[in-house]
Chain A
Amino acid sequence: MTAIIRALDLTKVFGRSTAVDHVSFEVRQGEIFGFLGPNGAGKTTTTRMLTGVIPPDAGSATILGHDIRSEPVQAKQRFGVVPETSNAYTDLTAWQNLMLMGELYGLPRARAAQRSSELLGMVGLAERKDQKVQAYSKGMKQRLILAMALIHEPELLFLDEPTSGLDVESTRMILSLLRDLNRGGTTIFLTTHNMEEANRLCHRVGIIRAGKIAAIDAPEKLKAAIERVHTIEVSFDREVPGDALAGLAGVTGLNRTGDKWQITAENRDTVIRSLVEFSRENGAAIVTLHTLTQSLDDAFLRLTREARP
């Protein structure tokens, strides 16, 4: 699959502190890539280097085939940016902000007006388009800057904590829009603290700690990777002998809780197959079967623990 973002040994030093330390990763075309990390881990600095806002001290970044240092304008023409803090012009109306963005991205006036109308409707601001942004709530400002980032129909969208501190309605609207955009082919690079958001939205996540990449994988694989021992909870429609379950292939431990059995195993697949076979052979139908997985929060905490003071 084509790499839309290719970061190679990206490094940024502020004084004596290395904010980003030889970070390398790729984001593939059409995916939602979550970039996670604790405060001060280097997420925003990495995003700013990728978007050409600050130059890296070492390393390189290629965005949509353009080196962000040698061809910044060509790269920026093809992506949109939604920063954490709203940076729309508060002395302008939503409409004027969008038209300004249209001009900065080189859109013909008629096309910019058409896109502005569409986007204002999409983010639910059409009725307040002629109001100055300074009167907007935080959620409205965030929806507006998302619209501003989409004015030129970018192939790639960078979002830095897009739902941080927003009300439920705005959060849902933004996440729903991101899913729709991704379904339409837009690649999304999302920086977030919100593990649940990353878990539900992202195809892959990268975890950064102390300026270095700790892990990159699909959320489910990351969760699975940190689990050395898996837990499976099963119940049958009739009593089954515990020693028979304990003797099944792959079972390393067994514990009864109420009408359920908690089985520990190193390989979930082997145990589930054994349980199905056991059920069939003994005529005991499986009522419930749960694999108790660790959350992305657990994975995140485990992977970033070393960076904690």
Chain B
Amino acid sequence: MNPAALSEQLRRSWAIAKKDIRIYYIKGPVLIFGVFMPLFMFLAFLMGSRQLPLSFLISGLVGMTLFFTATAVSPAIFPWEGSARTLERLASCPVTVEAIVFGDMIASTLFGIGITILTVLIGLVLGLSLVHGVTLLFAILLAACCFSAIGMLLAVPPTNVPSNIMMLSSLIKFPLVFISGIFLPLEQMPAWGLVLSACSPLTYFTDLVRYSFTGTHFFSVGTDLAALALFTIVFTAGTMYLHRRTMPQRM
């Protein structure tokens, strides 16, 4: 057995992901936050935006659910583990920094997918019609990877104080929601707003969800998928590189 081989490191990433799910994700407060946070934001905008169709807002709800759940816990895992010294335990094991980061990403991806599929199922039970189910499934998988990479990017600053990271995380996540065509359709945005929207991966996911539910879209499906894939690759590579550099500063 070569412990440094990719297959071995992937197995160890999966062990880290299972540990994360058991310790950090399958907790009442986390599950409740994952479901209620996007739901209450959705309800707030449903009350205030009566001129927008329900199908439009529900697409936004699905987008928000995946975005918030996939980035809810992962930014705080490194600070938690740093302060509990369990990160040092992982660092002394035959596991690369990339494998640790990837394990955390797998956990947040699975958590995001699980809660989002639950949201979609509730929508379907309530009478929402799904036009392009396969596209939606593929979009959820891709976007969950992308958003979990964003979650790990937010964890890059080498602090072991979770509240610092959560503050930074909110500072970045909330503006992204407002520029991503969730509450204001891209068609109604000014030119500068569209430029900002194009910089957010959430825009492309929301566009794909809208396409899946209503058949309408702003960008082409190919553009949305390619943009999401590109963001995923760039963010994943970036988070691996940056965590490799900052990991020793956490010890």
Contact bitstring B1-16, A, C-beta under 8 A = 1, else 0: 1111000110110111
Expressed in whole angstroms, the Cα–Cα distance for A194 and B194 within the complex equals: 67
Residue contact B251 to A73, C-beta cutoff 8 Å: no
Q: Which residue of A54, A71, A86, A106 is within 8 Å of B12 (Cβ)?
A: A106
Q: Is A77 an interface residue (CB 8 A)?
A: yes
Contact bitstring B46-71, A, C-beta under 8 A = 1, else 0: 00000000000000000000000000
> How many chain A residues have a CB neighbour from B under 8 Å?
30
Residue contact A83 to B88, C-beta cutoff 8 Å: yes
Expressed in whole angstroms, the Cα–Cα distance for A71 and B4 within the complex equals: 9
Take A48-B251, A83-B85, A85-B85 as given contacts and tell me if A106 and B94 are in contact as well, using a CB distance cutoff of 8 Å: yes
- Smallest Cβ distance from B24 to chain A, in angstroms? 9
Q: Is B84 an interface residue (CB 8 A)?
A: yes
Residue contact B4 to A103, C-beta cutoff 8 Å: no
Expressed in whole angstroms, the Cα–Cα distance for A76 and B94 within the complex equals: 5
Q: What residues of B have a CB within 8 angstroms of the CB of A101 in the complex?
A: 93
Expressed in whole angstroms, the Cα–Cα distance for A262 and B91 within the complex equals: 56
Q: Is B223 an interface residue (CB 8 A)?
A: no
Q: Is B141 an interface residue (CB 8 A)?
A: no
Q: Is B175 an interface residue (CB 8 A)?
A: no
Q: Is A11 an interface residue (CB 8 A)?
A: no
Q: What residues of A have a CB within 8 angstroms of the CB of B12 in the complex?
A: 103-104, 106
Q: Is A236 an interface residue (CB 8 A)?
A: no
Expressed in whole angstroms, the Cα–Cα distance for A21 and B96 within the complex equals: 27
- Smallest Cβ distance from B187 to chain A, in angstroms? 47
Expressed in whole angstroms, the Cα–Cα distance for A105 and B251 within the complex equals: 21
Residue contact A103 to B92, C-beta cutoff 8 Å: no
Q: What residues of B have a CB within 8 angstroms of the CB of A51 in the complex?
A: 92
> How many chain B residues have a CB neighbour from A under 8 Å?
29
Residue contact A53 to B11, C-beta cutoff 8 Å: no
- Smallest Cβ distance from B80 to chain A, in angstroms? 10
Q: Which residue of B18, B86, B91, B94 is within 8 Å of A77 (Cβ)?
A: B94
Q: Is B95 an interface residue (CB 8 A)?
A: yes
Residue contact A74 to B4, C-beta cutoff 8 Å: yes
Q: Is B134 an interface residue (CB 8 A)?
A: no
Q: Which residue of A54, A96, A104, A106 is within 8 Å of B1 (Cβ)?
A: A106
Q: How many A-B residue pairs have CB under 8 A?
A: 84
Q: What residues of A have a CB within 8 angstroms of the CB of B18 in the complex?
A: 100, 103
- Stretch of A87-95, A225-233, A251-259, A285-293 lying at the B interface: A87-95
Take A83-B85, A89-B86, A100-B15 as given contacts and tell me if A53 and B91 are in contact as well, using a CB distance cutoff of 8 Å: yes
Take A103-B15, A106-B1, A106-B8 as given contacts and tell me if A87 and B84 are in contact as well, using a CB distance cutoff of 8 Å: yes
Q: Is A81 an interface residue (CB 8 A)?
A: yes
Nearest A residue to B8 by beta-carbon distance?
Answer: A106
Interface hits, A55-72 → B, CB 8 Å: 55, 71-72
Expressed in whole angstroms, the Cα–Cα distance for A205 and B19 within the complex equals: 38
Q: What residues of B have a CB within 8 angstroms of the CB of A88 in the complex?
A: 86, 89
Q: What residues of A have a CB within 8 angstroms of the CB of B127 in the complex?
A: none
Q: What residues of A have a CB within 8 angstroms of the CB of B89 in the complex?
A: 81, 83, 87-88, 148
- Smallest Cβ distance from A215 to chain B, in angstroms? 28
Q: Is B29 an interface residue (CB 8 A)?
A: no
Expressed in whole angstroms, the Cα–Cα distance for A74 and B4 within the complex equals: 7
Expressed in whole angstroms, the Cα–Cα distance for A184 and B14 within the complex equals: 33
Q: Which residue of B14, B84, B88 is within 8 Å of A53 (Cβ)?
A: B88
Q: What residues of A have a CB within 8 angstroms of the CB of B85 in the complex?
A: 83, 85-87
Take A55-B248, A101-B93, A104-B15 as given contacts and tell me if A74 and B3 are in contact as well, using a CB distance cutoff of 8 Å: yes
Residue of B8, B16, B22, B86 with most partner-chain A CB within 10 A = B86
Chain B residues near A (Cβ < 8 Å): 1-4, 8-9, 11-12, 14-16, 18-19, 22-23, 84-86, 88-96, 248, 251
**A–B complex contacts, Cβ < 8 Å, 22 sampled:** A52-B91, A53-B88, A53-B91, A54-B251, A55-B248, A72-B96, A73-B4, A73-B9, A73-B94, A73-B95, A73-B96, A83-B85, A83-B89, A89-B19, A89-B84, A91-B23, A92-B19, A92-B23, A96-B22, A100-B15, A100-B19, A104-B90
Q: A52-B92, A74-B94, A104-B94 are in contact. List 8 more A-B contacts (CB 8 A).
A: A73-B4, A77-B3, A87-B85, A100-B19, A104-B15, A104-B90, A106-B1, A106-B94
